[in-house]
Amino acid sequence: MKPRIFSGIQPSGNLHLGNYLGAIRNWVKLQDQYDSIFCVVDMHAITVPQDPTELRRRTIEVAKVYLASGIDPKKSTPFIQSHISEHAELAWILNTIAKIPELEKMTQFKDKAQKAGKESASVGLFDYPILMASDILLYDTELVPVGKDQLQHIELTRTLAERFNKKFGETFILPKAFTTKESENIMGLDDPTKKMSKSASSEYNYIALTDDEETVRRKIKKAVTDSGSEIVYSDDKPALKNLINIYSLLSEISPKEIEKKYVGKGYFDFKNDLADVVINFLQPLQKKIEELSDEKVLKILEDGAKKVQPIAKKKLEEVKNKIGFIG
């Protein structure tokens, strides 16, 4: 039996290059070696307000991106989180062994609560990492391919699994995070100190996977750069480093080679070529997305839910039995 990986993306906005380079790209590579489960985490998405019609549309859209990017339903299992009620049930049980300070120190909660205004942040937003732990632990996941921003949540998942195992006996596998060095964090085009994010207030923060040619050129033109005019890959130039990373990951040309290519040239040439690289990547992906019908995608998601349901059911029954619930 192959070891299992689990990961997911929230249908909370337009998917962007960060989601692709930080997560989906790795999933596609890993699906041959691992028993792969990829979820559209709609229950996570509602931790911040969502328009119901948009949520439905985006849930299907995220699944289309998975499939168009190369997630193959013959090798992997995509499904919608809310179709498997065990996620919420296990999250409730894990809530009872998690400690409030453990959640209070989660960076993502602090950032998002600040964005929402502390008074308006939902309890669901606070509890988000526990639901994520439940997603992962339900399926005996060994590896979780995520972007760097999620590492703290995986650490908490391990802590909770260990605590449960100690208290009630061996039940959960302790999962490990999987990240790749280059794609650890794709930063915002408008601010290289913050990650590219679908819920960013400005559309100039991200390149959405659905952006058209004109939009990509406009956003890259507007992307912030550092002082000086040379194209160098260095920590002192975080904005440029981020743009070179995107260029490199999408073109498979190393940052060193990119530096060489632009000796004697400036930002104008570099940004023009970067826009070409991004557009050349996005256009075939967008064509594949358009070719997928909603009906076909929903069928794949339903089949996926049917496949994972018995795994989730069995694990939850084991947990309920161990904590003393009458089956």
Q: Can you give the binding site for ligand AQP, defined by CB under 6 A?
A: 9-10, 12-13, 18-19, 22-23, 146-147, 149-150, 183, 185-186, 195-199
Smaller CB separation from ligand AQP, 31 or 183 = 183
How near is the Cβ of 248 to ligand AQP at its closest, in Å? 14
Residue with the shortest CB distance to ligand AQP: 22
List, in order, residues 6 or more apart from 188 with CB less than 8 Å away.
194, 195, 196, 197, 200, 205, 206
| C-beta closer to ligand AQP: residue 136 or 319 | 136
**Least distance from ligand AQP to the Cβ atom of residue 318, Å:** 27
CB of 187 to ligand AQP, least distance (A): 7
Q: What does each C-alpha distance from 276 to 213, 214, 217, 259, 280 come to in angstroms?
A: 9, 11, 8, 17, 6
| Nearest CA-CA partner of 202 in 232, 231, 223 | 223
- Closest by Cα among 206, 231, 226, 201 to 216: 206
Contacts of 36 (CB under 8 A, 6+ apart): 4, 5, 6, 27, 30, 71, 75, 76, 77
Q: In Å, what is the CA distance from 321 to each residue of 93, 131, 169, 314, 317?
A: 12, 20, 11, 11, 6
Residue 313 tokens, joined: 């059911």
- When the beta carbons of 184 and 276 are compared against ligand AQP, the nearer one is 184
| Cβ partners under 8 Å of residue 308, min gap 6 | 37, 77, 79, 84, 139
Kindly name the residue from 198, 219, 237, 315 that is annotated as catalytic.
198
Shortest Å distance, C-beta 185 to ligand AQP: 5
Using only C-alpha atoms, the chain has a radius of gyration, in whole angstroms, of: 21
CB nearer to ligand AQP: give 18 or 78.
Answer: 18
CB-nearer residue toward ligand AQP: 133 or 319: 133
CB of 182 to ligand AQP, least distance (A): 10
Q: Is 261 a catalytic residue?
A: no
Which uninterrupted H or E stretch holds 6? strand 4-9
Active-site annotation holder among 64, 112, 237, 315: 112
Options 64, 195, 219, 315, the catalytic residue: 195
Whether 198 is a known active-site residue: answer yes
d(CA 257, CA 200): 32
Active site residue 112: yes
Q: Tell me which residues are annotated as active site.
A: 112, 195, 198
